[in-house]
Structure 1
């Protein structure tokens, strides 16, 4: 199951990874279905254009930061990871954690770029979105020759001020990436403190940059 989950994660990275200089369509963040569909459609030409450079960690991370991060609600996700420890932190500590967590996610996604195989994607047909709720989900079916389809669910949140949708979580094989990170990090925050965990994430990002 975990192997299929990480295959899905790899594929999701590419669905979200869009290099606009190679794309014919602009990303419409006002519609969650168009957002996911356009990112998926733009992905594979961008991957082909950069395939010889993806082994360079600095290049792959720069691509993720520039092209993927604008469509990720990284602050919301980071605060969800802090979870019940929120009251034991101050604004400065939270800001440092958001920055460290963002770099950690970028490093995770950039590493997945190097493992791309042959997956393709099919985005579900649009359903009516409850604009009052501010949350929705979009299904993507990951397809690979000789293997069963994997259903990936993107969870999106609408910014009430801008009207733009951003991805804050994905669920593959019944496993939520956000929940997994909550399980991994919230206990560490409780036991070691948020500053120690922020340093740990920064150390991980720095260490993996040299590999």
Structure 2
């Protein structure tokens, strides 16, 4: 499961980091056009290539997050318990889930700088508000099989947003839903929030220690 999450994370980072100018592009064009931008950034930035966590987090926050509907993603991941959660709990869940995903993305960032994204043939229905963009992640010169990735995207007032993606048949949202459901059954929604908060705080502390050690 951990391997799948890392794979999912790297794929997201590779395909969806982009500037505001691509926000209103068709979903397949959004992915196709922006992959070159993020790869150029990674390849040309020595600190990113060496794993500078702070800089990676800043890049993710600025370039990746605008293309996600975190409320929809969190709602799907939490499942039926979302309906009984208070507004305060929903806000906390979205915040911690967002942090969790961001920190997961940064770990896989540099692993995908040599990959190429191939967009499968896609025809957008002008009336469509929910689409799936199919892609394949290929490593040039490698005999490895391409990694197949499907992006579930919805049309929002400010552009197309990702609310789930599937890598080799494994849905990101569904994967978290199972984990979250077990947590909620054992310790309730507040317990899940605490678990996510503790996990995020631990990750932040570890990153700070590592960064301090690297600076010496």
TM-score interval (norm. to shorter): 0.7 to 0.9
Comparing 5-14 with 140-149, greater Cα deviation is found at 5-14
Q: Deviations over 1:156-211 (max 9, x none)?
A: 0112xx16210111111110111101111122123312222112112212211233
Q: Deviations over 1:52-92 (max 9, x none)?
A: 23522222111111110000111110011121112321111
Match of 1:95?
Answer: 91
Match of 2:187?
Answer: 192
Alignment counterpart, residue 172 of structure 1, candidates 167, 173, 179: 167
Q: 1:123 to 1:107 in 2, by over 3 A?
A: same
CA contact (8 A) 1:151 1:173 kept: yes
Q: 1:142 to 1:2 in 2, by over 3 A?
A: farther
Match of 1:182?
Answer: 177
Tell me the distance in 2 between the aligned counterparts of 1:40 and 1:106.
Answer: 18
Q: 1:47 to 1:184 in 2, by over 3 A?
A: same
Matched, 1:157 2:151: no
1:1-211 to 2 correspondences below 5 Å: 6-7=6-7, 9-18=9-18, 20=19, 26-53=21-48, 55-116=51-112, 118-129=114-125, 131-132=127-128, 134-144=129-139, 145-159=142-156, 162=157, 164-211=159-206
Tell me the distance in 2 between the aligned counterparts of 1:7 and 1:98.
Answer: 22
List structure 1 runs of 4+ shifted beyond 6 angstroms: none
Match of 2:212?
Answer: none
TM-score, normalised to structure 1, is 0.86
SS in 2 for 1:165: strand
Tell me the distance in 1 between the aligned counterparts of 2:114 and 2:30.
Answer: 22
Aligned residue pairs total 203
Q: What 5-or-longer segments of structure 1 have no aligned partner?
A: none
CA RMSD of aligned residues (A): 2.3
Tell me the distance in 2 between the aligned counterparts of 1:5 and 1:27.
Answer: 26
Tell me the distance in 1 between the aligned counterparts of 2:80 and 2:92.
Answer: 17
Tell me the distance in 2 between the aligned counterparts of 1:4 and 1:187.
Answer: 19
Tell me the distance in 2 between the aligned counterparts of 1:175 and 1:2.
Answer: 12
Q: Which has the higher helix share?
A: 2
Q: What 5-or-longer segments of structure 2 have no aligned partner?
A: 207-216
